[in-house]
Structure formats: C-alpha cells, structure tokens
Chains A and B, each alone.
Chain A
Amino acid sequence: MSASARTASQLLALCEGFSPQGPEPTFLSALRAAGREAFAAGGLPSRRQEAWRHTSLKPLEGLSFHLPSGEATVDRGELELLSSPVFACSLFVFVDGHHRHDLSTPHAFAGDLRVESLRDVRASGAEALPSELGTLTDLKAHPFAALNTALLDDGALVSIPAATQVEHVIHLVFVSTGAAAPLSTPRVWIEAGPGSHAVVLQDHVVVGGEGPRLTSAVTEVTLGEGAHLELVLLQRESDATLHVSNLEVRQARDSRMGSHTLTLGGRLVRNDLRTLLVGEGAETRLHGLFLGSGEGVVDNHTLVDHAVPHCSSQELYKGILAGRSRGIFRGRVLVRPDAQQTDARQSNPNLLLDYGAEIDTQPQLEIHADDVKCSHGSAIGRLDEDALFYLRSRGIDMAMAQRLLTRGFAAEVLRALPGEVLGEALGSVLSEVLDAAETGG
C-alpha cells in the first residue's frame, strides 16, 4: 500500500467509526453515507488527476489523524486578542469544528437573522435544517468535500431573511487546537434571502496548538434574487496547517456576490471555489490574496460558471510568494451557449519575493457563446528595483522598503474588502504576517 493510500484508509476508518451524538433526521445520515461512499471510491486525489496536477499531498502522508472532541480549553482572552483586529461585535466560535456557546457572542445578531450551530438545530428535526444542505457540492469531484460530508457533525447555519440589511459582520471563528494531527471538518450553510445584504467572515486560526493539522471545510451558499453577500475567508493558521476548502455558490437573478479569499499561511492550502450564475443579471466578484512562505504550497482553483445571459464576473487573485513556497492559480471561466452578453474578466498578477519561490498560473476561458466580452491575464514579477531605491533614498531600510512594496502590491485586494474597517484590520494582520515572514535569497 502506498503512503497516500495508507493515509486515505486511515481517514476512511475515521469516517466509518464516526457516529453522531443524539437524534437527527435521516437525510443527514444519508448525506453522510454518500460522503463516505464517495471518499471510499475515490480516495485521496493524486497528481495524475488534472485538478491536482501541481499540488502534491505528500505533507499529509505519514500523519495519523484524529477527531478532537471540541471541548479543548480555549482562553477567551487569547481568542479575543486574536480576533480583535477584525472583531465585529458578533463572534460565533467553533473549536476543532464544534460550536462553542461559551466562547460565542451571538446576542449581537439582531432581528430575524439566524446564526445557529448545525448540532443544535438537527435535534429539532428535518424541517429545521436547510433542505438543500449538501446539494450544491459535487462529492465525486471533490474528495475532501466527500471527507467533510462523511464526517458531517457540526457547523454554522446562517440564514439572512429577505430584505434584511445585516449591519455587523457575521464573524465565524474556527479555532484549531491541540497536537498530534487533529482533523476538523467544519460545515457552513449560508442562505441570503431575496434583497438581503450581509457580510460573512470565516476566520480560521490556531490557538495553543502545534504540529501538523488538517482542516477540511465545506461552505455552501445560495443568494436569492437581488441579494448582496460579501464572503470573506481568512486563512491564518500555523505554517504546519493543511487546509482544504470547498466553496460552492449559487446566485439567483440580479444577486451580487463578493468573495475575498485571504490565505496568509499554511503548509498546504487548497481552495476550490465555484460560483454558478443561474439568474440573469447576477454579478460575481472574486478576490484573492495568497501568501506563501517557507515550504508552503497555496493552490487556488476557481470556476465561474456563466449559465445564463447578462451576468458579469470579475476576478482578481494576487499571489505573494517567499522562501521556497509555491503558488498555483487555476481560474476557469465557463460561458455556456445560452450565456450571451456575458462580461467576464480575470487577472492573476504574482509577486515572487525570493528566487526559490514558484508560481503556476493558468487562466482558462471556455466560451461557448458568441456575443460576450471576456478577458484574462496573468503576470509574474519581482519587487521593482527603482521603487526600492526610491524608498531607500528616503532613509527607509531595505527590509521595510520591501514590506511597503509588498503591502502595496496587496492593497488592491484589501481595498476591495467590504467596509473600511475590515480592509484596515486585515491590512494590519497582513503586515504582521509579512513582518514575520523570512525572505532573502
């Protein structure tokens, strides 16, 4: 048995040995079984598969994962300190994939907005659960989504009622703790009602835990007619973290979605994002900023699926790679035959800070309609020598000059974040990470 197959069979054994606590509707156990079957059939992806051609799962090999109880002690003060730059009144906290009432402050969620834990809700029966849970994700195409589904236990259910403007950021914090290869599989369901507006921040952190860990997250999102949703995914776990995320979005007529994926570290990060534009006039903006350092690998695969006419998509992913890190960007834009008058733009500029760093970038347009406006481009560069000299000639030392320029490169993505507060807060989080990242060579 290969090392990869051994890891897969260990993970499958975890799935098979898993039993949820308390009563639950049968559709959940059926969903779980479907996940288990898909994972058993497909196993872990290999580089022979096109979608994983550039990304090796070697860092996963040899690890023996376990499912933590979610009862680990997490110091509230430490958590607040960590989340304070982006803290926005309402924290909904998960520890190792499990919701924690004691660390959350859901009282700040006003009105009819519902932010609940899957575990709390499932005991109330099938009616209390979103009927479409699990239906947006293709388990066969995404082995880690299958793993997440096979271990479906807890997560966040966010339901924004029609025509509701949610003032505060809905801040979901996912804390990973402990040592010895913990596995957490958070699940998020977001339903933005027609004409609603909200910002949801998913914030992944590590508190008091060292060593390798795996997070396999699945988020499913539906936007009703005219809904406007801004989704922020902040991945700022430890450099030993493996994080695989699947984000599946479906957008109805005239809805607007902004996605902001900020990857600030990790040993191996793979994000699959798909947005399906099924209603005319829908608009999607995908922003990404990924930072690699050390031996880290960050892989972003996005797919914008234009299924109907008069939709627009704009995509900007920026990579900053230091040390011997590697970045992968594959952005697919699919314009189906019916999707006339599509306006799709995509761009992926990358900055290599060190000579050992690498990027594979592959924009991919597939256009089956004839009356469309589409463009894409990618670029790879280093810090501008003239700009560095300009800053240094004003007394700013080399390290600071490099940080200023790197921060400047990232600024466009930060500016796109919803609300000035979040942009500034994440800007300072980014600066801290850049200050800590060792570059040279």
Chain B
Amino acid sequence: MQQLIVRDVTQERLQRTVQGLKDAGATNVDPKRQADGKYTVTATFPD
C-alpha cells in the first residue's frame, strides 16, 4: 500500500480531485480541511 498526500486542494476542485484519484486506482481517499480552508487529500493506492 502506498499513500499520496495532496496538499492545498481548493474547495471548488475537491470533488473533481477526489474522483480523479479514485479513477486512477485509489482504494481510499480521505479529504481533511486545513486551517486555511483548503483541503489535504490522502489517497491510498494498492501498489
């Protein structure tokens, strides 16, 4: 299992980003809100 951590994802791009990571093969995608209102998205990949 490998993790990709994507920082500073904007609110407007969040849904598309999460979907893109899932389409690329992420088995788990977990967005967390940062203090500045942007999101840190942690995606787990099987390889």
Q: Decide whether A and B are members of one complex.
A: no
Q: A residues near B, CB below 8 A?
A: none
